[in-house]
Structure 1
Protein backbone atom coordinates (compact mmCIF):
# COMPACT_ATOMS: atom_id res chain seq x y z
CA UNK A 1 0.00 0.00 0.00
CA UNK A 2 2.84 2.28 0.73
CA UNK A 3 4.25 1.85 -2.73
CA UNK A 4 0.93 2.74 -4.29
CA UNK A 5 0.84 6.05 -2.43
CA UNK A 6 4.40 6.80 -3.48
CA UNK A 7 3.69 6.03 -7.14
CA UNK A 8 0.72 8.35 -7.32
CA UNK A 9 2.64 11.56 -6.61
CA UNK A 10 5.43 10.34 -8.91
CA UNK A 11 2.96 9.73 -11.72
CA UNK A 12 1.33 13.06 -11.10
CA UNK A 13 4.67 14.85 -11.13
CA UNK A 14 5.68 13.01 -14.31
CA UNK A 15 2.44 13.94 -16.00
CA UNK A 16 2.91 17.53 -14.94
CA UNK A 17 6.49 17.46 -16.20
CA UNK A 18 5.50 15.99 -19.56
CA UNK A 19 2.72 18.52 -20.00
CA UNK A 20 5.16 21.31 -19.16
CA UNK A 21 7.57 19.98 -21.80
CA UNK A 22 4.81 19.85 -24.37
CA UNK A 23 3.72 23.39 -23.59
CA UNK A 24 7.33 24.59 -23.67
CA UNK A 25 8.00 22.88 -27.01
CA UNK A 26 4.86 24.39 -28.49
CA UNK A 27 5.81 27.81 -27.24
CA UNK A 28 9.26 27.37 -28.82
CA UNK A 29 7.66 26.39 -32.09
CA UNK A 30 5.41 29.42 -32.07
CA UNK A 31 8.07 31.93 -31.06
CA UNK A 32 10.08 31.91 -34.34
CA UNK A 33 6.94 32.62 -36.28
CA UNK A 34 5.98 35.31 -33.87
CA UNK A 35 9.52 36.71 -34.03
CA UNK A 36 9.31 36.66 -37.79
CA UNK A 37 6.07 38.52 -37.62
CA UNK A 38 7.55 40.95 -35.14
CA UNK A 39 10.70 41.52 -37.20
CA UNK A 40 8.88 41.68 -40.49
CA UNK A 41 8.58 45.26 -41.77
CA UNK A 42 5.05 46.51 -42.21
CA UNK A 43 3.94 46.69 -45.81
CA UNK A 44 3.98 50.13 -47.32
CA UNK A 45 0.57 51.64 -47.34
CA UNK A 46 -0.22 54.18 -50.04
CA UNK A 47 -3.10 56.52 -49.61
CA UNK A 48 -4.62 58.52 -52.42
CA UNK A 49 -4.73 62.21 -51.78
CA UNK A 50 -8.30 63.32 -52.04
CA UNK A 51 -8.83 65.67 -54.92
CA UNK A 52 -10.22 69.11 -54.28
CA UNK A 53 -13.89 69.23 -54.85
CA UNK A 54 -14.81 70.73 -58.16
CA UNK A 55 -17.08 73.30 -56.63
CA UNK A 56 -14.12 74.87 -54.75
CA UNK A 57 -12.13 75.41 -57.95
CA UNK A 58 -15.13 76.73 -59.75
CA UNK A 59 -15.76 79.17 -56.92
CA UNK A 60 -12.16 80.42 -57.09
CA UNK A 61 -12.32 80.80 -60.85
CA UNK A 62 -15.54 82.69 -60.60
CA UNK A 63 -14.09 85.00 -57.99
CA UNK A 64 -11.07 85.71 -60.20
CA UNK A 65 -13.26 86.40 -63.18
CA UNK A 66 -15.47 88.61 -61.11
CA UNK A 67 -12.41 90.49 -59.83
CA UNK A 68 -11.28 91.09 -63.41
CA UNK A 69 -14.66 92.49 -64.21
CA UNK A 70 -14.74 94.70 -61.12
CA UNK A 71 -11.30 96.24 -61.69
CA UNK A 72 -12.56 98.51 -64.43
CA UNK A 73 -11.89 102.16 -63.69
CA UNK A 74 -13.30 104.93 -65.81
CA UNK A 75 -11.60 108.22 -65.04
CA UNK A 76 -10.05 111.12 -66.86
CA UNK A 77 -7.65 113.92 -65.98
CA UNK A 78 -8.07 117.15 -67.87
CA UNK A 79 -5.26 119.67 -68.16
CA UNK A 80 -6.44 123.27 -68.02
CA UNK A 81 -3.81 125.91 -68.83
CA UNK A 82 -4.66 129.23 -67.17
CA UNK A 83 -3.36 132.75 -67.62
CA UNK A 84 -4.69 135.36 -65.20
CA UNK A 85 -4.89 139.10 -65.89
CA UNK A 86 -6.13 141.90 -63.66
CA UNK A 87 -8.80 144.41 -64.67
CA UNK A 88 -6.17 146.58 -66.33
CA UNK A 89 -4.99 143.63 -68.43
CA UNK A 90 -1.76 143.13 -66.47
CA UNK A 91 -0.46 139.64 -65.86
CA UNK A 92 -0.88 138.22 -62.35
CA UNK A 93 1.71 135.70 -61.19
CA UNK A 94 2.41 133.76 -58.00
CA UNK A 95 -1.09 132.30 -57.72
CA UNK A 96 -1.63 129.11 -55.71
CA UNK A 97 -3.98 126.13 -55.93
CA UNK A 98 -6.36 127.57 -53.34
CA UNK A 99 -6.83 130.63 -55.55
CA UNK A 100 -8.71 128.51 -58.13
CA UNK A 101 -12.03 126.67 -58.22
CA UNK A 102 -12.94 124.36 -61.10
CA UNK A 103 -16.56 123.51 -61.87
CA UNK A 104 -18.16 121.07 -64.30
CA UNK A 105 -21.92 121.31 -64.79
CA UNK A 106 -22.03 123.47 -61.64
CA UNK A 107 -20.28 120.71 -59.67
CA UNK A 108 -17.05 121.56 -57.90
CA UNK A 109 -14.19 119.37 -59.12
CA UNK A 110 -11.12 118.33 -57.15
CA UNK A 111 -7.80 119.68 -58.41
CA UNK A 112 -5.47 116.69 -58.47
CA UNK A 113 -2.34 118.51 -59.56
CA UNK A 114 -1.41 122.19 -59.67
CA UNK A 115 1.74 123.66 -61.17
CA UNK A 116 2.66 127.30 -61.51
CA UNK A 117 4.72 127.14 -64.66
CA UNK A 118 6.23 130.12 -66.39
CA UNK A 119 6.09 129.64 -70.13
CA UNK A 120 8.80 131.15 -72.34
CA UNK A 121 7.87 134.59 -73.64
CA UNK A 122 8.75 136.76 -76.62
CA UNK A 123 8.97 140.47 -75.89
CA UNK A 124 10.08 143.62 -77.71
CA UNK A 125 12.54 145.79 -75.80
CA UNK A 126 11.96 149.34 -77.02
CA UNK A 127 14.75 151.86 -76.36
CA UNK A 128 14.22 155.63 -76.52
CA UNK A 129 17.13 157.03 -78.52
CA UNK A 130 15.61 160.45 -79.14
CA UNK A 131 17.70 163.58 -78.58
CA UNK A 132 15.96 164.21 -75.27
CA UNK A 133 17.80 161.20 -73.77
CA UNK A 134 21.27 162.24 -74.91
CA UNK A 135 22.53 162.47 -71.33
CA UNK A 136 20.88 159.19 -70.27
CA UNK A 137 22.05 156.84 -73.02
CA UNK A 138 24.42 154.97 -70.71
CA UNK A 139 21.69 154.39 -68.14
CA UNK A 140 19.30 153.17 -70.85
CA UNK A 141 21.87 150.74 -72.25
CA UNK A 142 22.83 149.41 -68.81
CA UNK A 143 19.18 148.85 -67.90
CA UNK A 144 18.64 146.99 -71.19
CA UNK A 145 21.73 144.82 -70.63
CA UNK A 146 20.58 144.03 -67.09
CA UNK A 147 17.22 142.94 -68.48
CA UNK A 148 18.96 140.56 -70.91
CA UNK A 149 20.89 138.84 -68.11
CA UNK A 150 17.61 137.89 -66.41
CA UNK A 151 16.27 136.01 -69.43
CA UNK A 152 15.60 132.29 -69.25
CA UNK A 153 17.10 130.01 -71.91
CA UNK A 154 13.95 129.90 -74.08
CA UNK A 155 12.89 133.53 -73.70
CA UNK A 156 13.18 135.64 -76.84
CA UNK A 157 13.70 139.40 -77.10
CA UNK A 158 13.41 141.80 -80.01
CA UNK A 159 15.49 145.01 -79.76
CA UNK A 160 13.87 148.13 -81.19
CA UNK A 161 15.05 151.74 -80.88
CA UNK A 162 13.24 154.90 -81.89
CA UNK A 163 14.22 158.50 -82.48
CA UNK A 164 13.00 160.23 -85.61
CA UNK A 165 12.28 156.79 -87.02
CA UNK A 166 11.87 153.17 -85.96
CA UNK A 167 14.96 150.94 -85.99
CA UNK A 168 14.76 147.15 -85.59
CA UNK A 169 18.18 146.28 -84.20
CA UNK A 170 17.53 142.58 -83.59
CA UNK A 171 14.80 140.15 -84.52
CA UNK A 172 13.33 137.99 -81.71
CA UNK A 173 16.10 135.72 -80.45
CA UNK A 174 17.37 134.03 -77.29
CA UNK A 175 21.01 134.61 -78.26
CA UNK A 176 22.29 136.91 -75.52
CA UNK A 177 25.44 137.95 -77.35
CA UNK A 178 23.41 139.09 -80.34
CA UNK A 179 21.07 141.04 -78.07
CA UNK A 180 23.93 142.67 -76.16
CA UNK A 181 25.61 143.78 -79.40
CA UNK A 182 22.36 145.29 -80.63
CA UNK A 183 21.95 147.28 -77.40
CA UNK A 184 25.53 148.60 -77.40
CA UNK A 185 25.16 149.81 -81.02
CA UNK A 186 22.23 152.11 -80.21
CA UNK A 187 22.82 155.79 -81.03
CA UNK A 188 21.02 159.02 -80.21
CA UNK A 189 18.88 160.37 -83.04
CA UNK A 190 17.35 163.75 -83.82
CA UNK A 191 13.59 163.34 -83.45
CA UNK A 192 11.07 161.33 -81.45
CA UNK A 193 8.72 158.72 -82.91
CA UNK A 194 7.27 157.30 -79.71
CA UNK A 195 3.79 156.53 -80.99
CA UNK A 196 5.08 154.85 -84.14
CA UNK A 197 7.44 152.70 -82.06
CA UNK A 198 4.62 151.57 -79.75
CA UNK A 199 2.35 150.77 -82.69
Structure 2
Protein backbone atom coordinates (compact mmCIF):
# COMPACT_ATOMS: atom_id res chain seq x y z
CA UNK A 1 0.00 0.00 0.00
CA UNK A 2 2.81 2.38 0.86
CA UNK A 3 4.41 1.75 -2.52
CA UNK A 4 1.12 2.36 -4.36
CA UNK A 5 0.57 5.64 -2.50
CA UNK A 6 4.10 6.77 -3.32
CA UNK A 7 3.61 6.07 -7.04
CA UNK A 8 0.28 7.81 -6.96
CA UNK A 9 1.81 10.96 -5.53
CA UNK A 10 4.50 10.90 -8.17
CA UNK A 11 1.87 10.51 -10.83
CA UNK A 12 -0.02 13.55 -9.57
CA UNK A 13 3.14 15.62 -9.62
CA UNK A 14 3.93 14.43 -13.13
CA UNK A 15 0.48 15.54 -14.37
CA UNK A 16 1.14 19.00 -12.98
CA UNK A 17 4.60 19.17 -14.54
CA UNK A 18 6.65 16.37 -16.11
CA UNK A 19 9.34 15.40 -13.60
CA UNK A 20 12.04 15.04 -16.23
CA UNK A 21 11.09 18.11 -18.22
CA UNK A 22 13.98 20.44 -19.08
CA UNK A 23 14.63 23.08 -16.44
CA UNK A 24 13.57 26.64 -16.94
CA UNK A 25 16.46 28.77 -18.17
CA UNK A 26 18.99 29.41 -15.42
CA UNK A 27 16.70 27.95 -12.70
CA UNK A 28 19.44 25.51 -11.71
CA UNK A 29 22.85 25.20 -13.28
CA UNK A 30 26.05 23.28 -12.65
CA UNK A 31 28.83 25.85 -12.42
CA UNK A 32 31.70 23.43 -11.76
CA UNK A 33 32.84 21.64 -13.77
CA UNK A 34 31.59 23.36 -16.91
CA UNK A 35 30.44 21.54 -20.03
CA UNK A 36 33.32 20.49 -22.25
CA UNK A 37 35.89 20.69 -19.45
CA UNK A 38 38.10 17.61 -18.88
CA UNK A 39 38.24 16.44 -15.27
CA UNK A 40 40.68 14.24 -13.35
CA UNK A 41 40.98 13.09 -9.75
CA UNK A 42 39.11 14.56 -6.81
CA UNK A 43 36.99 17.56 -7.83
CA UNK A 44 34.12 19.58 -6.42
CA UNK A 45 30.80 19.43 -8.29
CA UNK A 46 28.92 22.64 -7.58
CA UNK A 47 25.42 23.82 -8.54
CA UNK A 48 23.72 27.19 -8.19
CA UNK A 49 20.03 27.95 -7.84
CA UNK A 50 18.42 31.12 -9.22
CA UNK A 51 17.35 33.63 -6.56
CA UNK A 52 13.72 33.41 -7.67
CA UNK A 53 13.71 29.68 -6.93
CA UNK A 54 15.90 29.61 -3.82
CA UNK A 55 13.11 29.71 -1.22
CA UNK A 56 11.34 26.74 -2.84
CA UNK A 57 14.32 24.37 -3.00
CA UNK A 58 14.27 21.66 -0.32
CA UNK A 59 17.21 19.62 -1.56
CA UNK A 60 19.74 19.38 -4.39
CA UNK A 61 21.11 15.93 -5.24
CA UNK A 62 23.99 15.06 -7.55
CA UNK A 63 24.71 12.08 -9.81
CA UNK A 64 27.76 11.23 -11.92
CA UNK A 65 27.34 8.77 -14.78
CA UNK A 66 24.10 7.60 -13.18
CA UNK A 67 25.62 6.96 -9.74
CA UNK A 68 24.41 8.96 -6.73
CA UNK A 69 27.06 11.27 -5.25
CA UNK A 70 25.43 13.27 -2.46
CA UNK A 71 22.47 15.47 -1.54
CA UNK A 72 22.49 18.91 0.11
CA UNK A 73 19.54 20.55 1.83
CA UNK A 74 21.06 24.03 1.97
CA UNK A 75 23.71 25.97 0.05
CA UNK A 76 26.45 25.66 -0.88
CA UNK A 77 25.11 22.91 -3.13
CA UNK A 78 28.27 20.92 -3.82
CA UNK A 79 30.02 17.65 -3.18
CA UNK A 80 33.40 16.04 -3.72
CA UNK A 81 33.71 13.45 -6.50
CA UNK A 82 36.66 11.37 -7.68
CA UNK A 83 36.63 11.51 -11.48
CA UNK A 84 39.41 8.93 -11.73
CA UNK A 85 42.90 9.07 -13.21
CA UNK A 86 42.00 9.06 -16.91
CA UNK A 87 40.22 11.88 -18.74
CA UNK A 88 36.98 10.61 -20.32
CA UNK A 89 33.46 11.84 -20.92
CA UNK A 90 31.30 12.03 -17.80
CA UNK A 91 27.67 13.08 -17.43
CA UNK A 92 26.93 15.06 -14.28
CA UNK A 93 23.41 15.88 -13.14
CA UNK A 94 22.04 18.12 -10.39
CA UNK A 95 18.39 17.74 -9.38
CA UNK A 96 16.75 20.47 -7.28
CA UNK A 97 13.66 19.22 -5.45
CA UNK A 98 10.99 21.86 -4.79
CA UNK A 99 8.54 22.31 -1.93
CA UNK A 100 5.58 21.90 -4.33
CA UNK A 101 6.80 18.45 -5.45
CA UNK A 102 8.36 19.64 -8.68
CA UNK A 103 12.00 19.59 -9.56
CA UNK A 104 14.53 21.27 -11.81
CA UNK A 105 17.40 19.45 -13.52
CA UNK A 106 20.78 20.62 -14.81
CA UNK A 107 23.21 18.44 -16.76
CA UNK A 108 26.77 18.88 -18.06
CA UNK A 109 29.02 16.63 -20.12
CA UNK A 110 32.76 16.77 -19.52
CA UNK A 111 35.40 16.25 -22.21
CA UNK A 112 37.65 13.25 -22.83
CA UNK A 113 40.82 15.14 -23.74
CA UNK A 114 43.16 17.23 -21.62
CA UNK A 115 44.28 20.69 -22.75
CA UNK A 116 47.87 21.06 -23.83
CA UNK A 117 50.42 22.00 -21.21
CA UNK A 118 51.01 25.71 -21.35
CA UNK A 119 53.42 28.33 -20.06
CA UNK A 120 52.83 31.26 -17.75
CA UNK A 121 49.44 32.76 -17.12
CA UNK A 122 46.39 30.54 -17.50
CA UNK A 123 48.62 27.51 -17.38
CA UNK A 124 47.09 24.10 -17.00
CA UNK A 125 49.65 21.84 -15.31
CA UNK A 126 49.88 18.40 -16.83
CA UNK A 127 48.31 15.52 -14.92
CA UNK A 128 51.27 13.32 -15.92
CA UNK A 129 52.55 11.57 -12.81
CA UNK A 130 56.11 11.89 -14.24
CA UNK A 131 56.05 15.68 -13.82
CA UNK A 132 57.53 16.65 -10.46
CA UNK A 133 56.02 19.77 -8.93
CA UNK A 134 58.12 21.95 -6.61
CA UNK A 135 56.84 24.99 -4.71
CA UNK A 136 59.64 27.32 -3.65
CA UNK A 137 60.23 30.44 -1.54
CA UNK A 138 63.22 32.63 -2.46
CA UNK A 139 64.78 35.16 -0.07
CA UNK A 140 67.81 37.44 -0.25
CA UNK A 141 70.69 37.76 2.20
CA UNK A 142 68.54 39.91 4.50
CA UNK A 143 65.60 37.48 4.50
CA UNK A 144 63.45 39.56 2.16
CA UNK A 145 61.33 37.82 -0.46
CA UNK A 146 62.67 37.84 -4.01
CA UNK A 147 59.99 38.22 -6.68
CA UNK A 148 59.91 38.45 -10.45
CA UNK A 149 62.19 35.50 -11.24
CA UNK A 150 61.78 33.66 -14.53
CA UNK A 151 62.48 30.06 -15.53
CA UNK A 152 66.06 30.88 -16.44
CA UNK A 153 66.72 32.13 -12.90
CA UNK A 154 66.11 28.70 -11.36
CA UNK A 155 68.40 25.66 -11.49
CA UNK A 156 66.89 22.33 -10.46
CA UNK A 157 68.91 19.27 -9.47
CA UNK A 158 67.66 15.76 -8.73
CA UNK A 159 70.23 13.58 -6.99
CA UNK A 160 72.74 16.29 -8.06
CA UNK A 161 71.87 15.84 -11.77
CA UNK A 162 70.62 19.03 -13.51
CA UNK A 163 67.00 19.00 -14.68
CA UNK A 164 65.15 21.07 -17.29
CA UNK A 165 62.34 23.25 -15.92
CA UNK A 166 59.20 22.62 -17.98
CA UNK A 167 57.06 25.37 -16.50
CA UNK A 168 57.06 28.13 -13.90
CA UNK A 169 54.15 29.91 -12.26
CA UNK A 170 54.96 33.11 -10.40
CA UNK A 171 53.52 34.75 -7.34
CA UNK A 172 50.18 35.94 -8.74
CA UNK A 173 48.45 32.63 -9.50
CA UNK A 174 45.48 31.41 -7.40
CA UNK A 175 46.10 28.79 -4.71
CA UNK A 176 44.54 25.72 -3.16
CA UNK A 177 44.63 26.31 0.59
CA UNK A 178 43.73 23.65 3.17
CA UNK A 179 43.60 24.77 6.81
CA UNK A 180 43.21 22.14 9.56
CA UNK A 181 42.34 23.36 13.07
CA UNK A 182 42.50 21.33 16.28
CA UNK A 183 39.15 21.54 18.10
CA UNK A 184 39.82 18.94 20.80
CA UNK A 185 38.51 19.55 24.31
CA UNK A 186 41.88 20.97 25.41
CA UNK A 187 41.14 23.94 23.13
CA UNK A 188 38.06 25.06 25.11
CA UNK A 189 39.59 28.12 26.78
CA UNK A 190 41.66 29.13 23.76
CA UNK A 191 39.01 28.67 21.08
CA UNK A 192 37.86 32.35 20.95
CA UNK A 193 41.42 33.45 20.18
CA UNK A 194 41.89 30.60 17.72
CA UNK A 195 38.75 31.62 15.82
CA UNK A 196 39.96 35.22 15.74
CA UNK A 197 43.37 34.22 14.36
CA UNK A 198 41.88 31.87 11.75
CA UNK A 199 39.43 34.58 10.62
CA UNK A 200 42.34 37.02 10.17
CA UNK A 201 44.21 34.42 8.12
CA UNK A 202 41.22 33.64 5.90
CA UNK A 203 40.49 37.34 5.39
CA UNK A 204 44.04 37.81 4.10
CA UNK A 205 43.57 35.18 1.39
CA UNK A 206 42.79 36.35 -2.12
CA UNK A 207 39.24 36.03 -3.49
CA UNK A 208 40.37 33.51 -6.13
CA UNK A 209 42.04 31.20 -3.59
CA UNK A 210 40.17 27.93 -3.03
CA UNK A 211 39.85 27.48 0.75
CA UNK A 212 39.08 24.14 2.42
CA UNK A 213 38.67 24.32 6.22
CA UNK A 214 39.03 21.11 8.21
CA UNK A 215 38.43 20.67 11.92
CA UNK A 216 39.63 17.68 13.89
CA UNK A 217 39.20 16.06 17.28
CA UNK A 218 38.40 12.33 17.48
CA UNK A 219 37.28 12.68 13.85
CA UNK A 220 37.92 14.94 10.86
CA UNK A 221 35.20 17.38 9.75
CA UNK A 222 35.03 19.45 6.56
CA UNK A 223 33.63 22.89 7.40
CA UNK A 224 34.24 24.50 3.98
CA UNK A 225 35.19 22.97 0.62
CA UNK A 226 37.17 24.99 -1.92
CA UNK A 227 35.32 28.10 -0.81
CA UNK A 228 35.96 31.42 -2.56
CA UNK A 229 33.20 33.48 -0.94
CA UNK A 230 34.71 35.56 1.89
CA UNK A 231 31.54 35.58 4.02
CA UNK A 232 31.09 31.82 3.69
CA UNK A 233 34.70 31.26 4.77
CA UNK A 234 34.15 33.26 7.96
CA UNK A 235 30.85 31.52 8.72
CA UNK A 236 32.68 28.20 8.58
CA UNK A 237 35.03 29.36 11.34
CA UNK A 238 32.04 29.90 13.65
CA UNK A 239 31.42 26.13 13.53
CA UNK A 240 34.66 25.38 15.40
CA UNK A 241 33.43 23.94 18.70
CA UNK A 242 35.91 22.15 21.03
CA UNK A 243 35.34 18.59 22.25
CA UNK A 244 36.95 15.15 22.09
CA UNK A 245 40.53 14.02 21.52
CA UNK A 246 43.15 14.75 18.84
CA UNK A 247 43.33 12.85 15.51
CA UNK A 248 46.35 14.73 14.17
CA UNK A 249 47.66 11.93 11.93
CA UNK A 250 44.21 11.33 10.40
CA UNK A 251 43.76 14.99 9.44
CA UNK A 252 47.26 15.16 7.95
CA UNK A 253 46.51 12.15 5.74
CA UNK A 254 43.10 13.56 4.73
CA UNK A 255 44.53 16.96 3.84
CA UNK A 256 47.48 15.58 1.87
CA UNK A 257 45.09 13.30 -0.02
CA UNK A 258 42.88 16.29 -0.92
CA UNK A 259 45.80 18.32 -2.17
CA UNK A 260 47.32 15.43 -4.14
CA UNK A 261 44.44 15.75 -6.62
CA UNK A 262 45.05 19.48 -7.13
CA UNK A 263 47.51 20.97 -9.58
CA UNK A 264 49.10 24.38 -9.25
CA UNK A 265 50.08 26.40 -6.18
CA UNK A 266 48.85 24.87 -2.95
CA UNK A 267 49.51 24.75 0.78
CA UNK A 268 48.51 22.94 3.95
CA UNK A 269 48.32 24.82 7.28
CA UNK A 270 47.80 22.77 10.47
CA UNK A 271 47.25 24.11 13.99
CA UNK A 272 47.37 21.77 16.98
CA UNK A 273 47.94 22.04 20.73
CA UNK A 274 48.70 18.42 21.52
CA UNK A 275 49.99 15.05 20.48
CA UNK A 276 47.89 12.53 18.59
CA UNK A 277 45.41 10.57 20.75
CA UNK A 278 42.67 9.31 18.46
CA UNK A 279 43.94 8.62 14.94
CA UNK A 280 43.41 5.34 13.14
CA UNK A 281 46.52 6.19 11.11
CA UNK A 282 50.05 6.01 12.52
CA UNK A 283 52.97 8.42 12.31
CA UNK A 284 54.61 5.96 9.90
CA UNK A 285 51.55 6.26 7.62
CA UNK A 286 51.87 10.03 7.63
CA UNK A 287 55.60 9.96 6.91
CA UNK A 288 55.11 7.58 3.97
CA UNK A 289 52.41 9.84 2.55
CA UNK A 290 54.57 12.90 3.10
CA UNK A 291 57.24 11.40 0.83
CA UNK A 292 54.91 11.91 -2.15
CA UNK A 293 53.30 15.14 -0.94
CA UNK A 294 54.11 18.17 -3.12
CA UNK A 295 52.38 20.85 -1.03
CA UNK A 296 54.30 22.88 1.57
CA UNK A 297 53.10 22.07 5.09
CA UNK A 298 53.00 24.78 7.75
CA UNK A 299 52.67 23.37 11.25
CA UNK A 300 51.68 25.60 14.18
CA UNK A 301 52.20 24.01 17.58
CA UNK A 302 50.81 25.49 20.77
CA UNK A 303 50.76 24.15 24.34
CA UNK A 304 52.33 20.67 24.22
CA UNK A 305 53.34 21.48 20.65
CA UNK A 306 56.01 23.75 22.15
CA UNK A 307 57.06 21.75 25.24
CA UNK A 308 56.83 18.09 24.17
CA UNK A 309 60.13 17.39 22.39
CA UNK A 310 58.76 14.39 20.47
CA UNK A 311 55.75 16.32 19.14
CA UNK A 312 57.90 19.33 18.38
CA UNK A 313 60.25 17.11 16.37
CA UNK A 314 57.33 15.61 14.41
CA UNK A 315 55.99 19.06 13.47
CA UNK A 316 59.45 20.27 12.47
CA UNK A 317 60.21 17.17 10.39
CA UNK A 318 56.95 17.18 8.42
CA UNK A 319 57.23 20.90 7.69
CA UNK A 320 60.91 20.81 6.73
CA UNK A 321 60.70 17.92 4.24
CA UNK A 322 57.80 19.66 2.43
CA UNK A 323 59.47 23.07 2.13
CA UNK A 324 57.13 24.62 4.70
CA UNK A 325 57.82 25.84 8.23
CA UNK A 326 56.97 24.97 11.82
CA UNK A 327 55.91 27.60 14.33
CA UNK A 328 55.82 27.09 18.10
CA UNK A 329 53.67 29.63 19.95
CA UNK A 330 54.04 29.83 23.72
CA UNK A 331 51.03 32.13 24.02
CA UNK A 332 47.81 32.39 22.02
CA UNK A 333 48.64 36.06 21.33
CA UNK A 334 51.45 34.78 19.05
CA UNK A 335 49.03 32.86 16.83
CA UNK A 336 47.95 35.76 14.62
CA UNK A 337 51.56 36.83 13.85
CA UNK A 338 52.34 33.21 12.89
CA UNK A 339 49.40 33.10 10.48
CA UNK A 340 50.48 36.50 9.08
CA UNK A 341 53.95 35.14 8.31
CA UNK A 342 52.39 32.22 6.46
CA UNK A 343 50.23 34.56 4.37
CA UNK A 344 53.34 36.55 3.40
CA UNK A 345 55.05 33.36 2.24
CA UNK A 346 52.01 32.24 0.26
CA UNK A 347 52.05 35.56 -1.59
CA UNK A 348 55.64 34.89 -2.68
CA UNK A 349 55.51 31.25 -3.78
CA UNK A 350 56.94 30.03 -7.08
CA UNK A 351 55.71 26.82 -8.66
CA UNK A 352 58.13 24.90 -10.87
CA UNK A 353 57.67 21.68 -12.75
CA UNK A 354 60.17 19.33 -14.37
CA UNK A 355 60.17 15.90 -15.94
CA UNK A 356 62.96 13.87 -14.31
CA UNK A 357 65.91 12.93 -16.50
CA UNK A 358 65.86 9.61 -14.66
CA UNK A 359 62.52 8.06 -15.76
CA UNK A 360 62.77 4.97 -13.54
CA UNK A 361 59.85 4.53 -11.13
CA UNK A 362 61.77 2.23 -8.81
CA UNK A 363 60.55 3.36 -5.39
CA UNK A 364 63.81 5.13 -4.53
CA UNK A 365 64.08 8.46 -2.71
CA UNK A 366 65.11 11.31 -5.05
CA UNK A 367 66.78 14.36 -3.53
CA UNK A 368 65.72 17.77 -4.92
CA UNK A 369 67.94 20.84 -4.76
CA UNK A 370 67.06 24.27 -6.11
CA UNK A 371 69.48 27.11 -6.77
CA UNK A 372 68.75 30.63 -8.01
CA UNK A 373 70.85 33.28 -9.68
CA UNK A 374 72.02 36.17 -7.53
CA UNK A 375 74.42 36.50 -4.59
CA UNK A 376 73.18 35.58 -1.12
CA UNK A 377 69.83 34.22 -2.28
CA UNK A 378 68.33 31.21 -0.57
CA UNK A 379 65.62 28.78 -1.69
CA UNK A 380 63.32 26.73 0.52
CA UNK A 381 61.47 23.87 -1.19
CA UNK A 382 60.58 20.23 -0.73
CA UNK A 383 63.63 18.10 -0.06
CA UNK A 384 62.72 15.28 -2.39
CA UNK A 385 60.16 12.67 -3.34
CA UNK A 386 59.62 8.92 -3.51
CA UNK A 387 59.65 7.75 -7.16
CA UNK A 388 56.79 5.29 -6.84
CA UNK A 389 55.78 2.96 -9.69
CA UNK A 390 53.26 4.70 -11.94
CA UNK A 391 50.24 2.63 -10.84
CA UNK A 392 50.95 3.25 -7.16
CA UNK A 393 51.59 6.93 -7.77
CA UNK A 394 48.19 7.23 -9.43
CA UNK A 395 46.55 5.55 -6.44
CA UNK A 396 48.23 8.04 -4.11
CA UNK A 397 46.78 10.83 -6.20
TM-score of the aligned structures, taking structure 1 as reference length: 0.46
Larger Rg: 1
Q: Which has the higher helix share?
A: 1
TM-score of the aligned structures, taking structure 2 as reference length: 0.24
Q: Which has the higher strand share?
A: 2
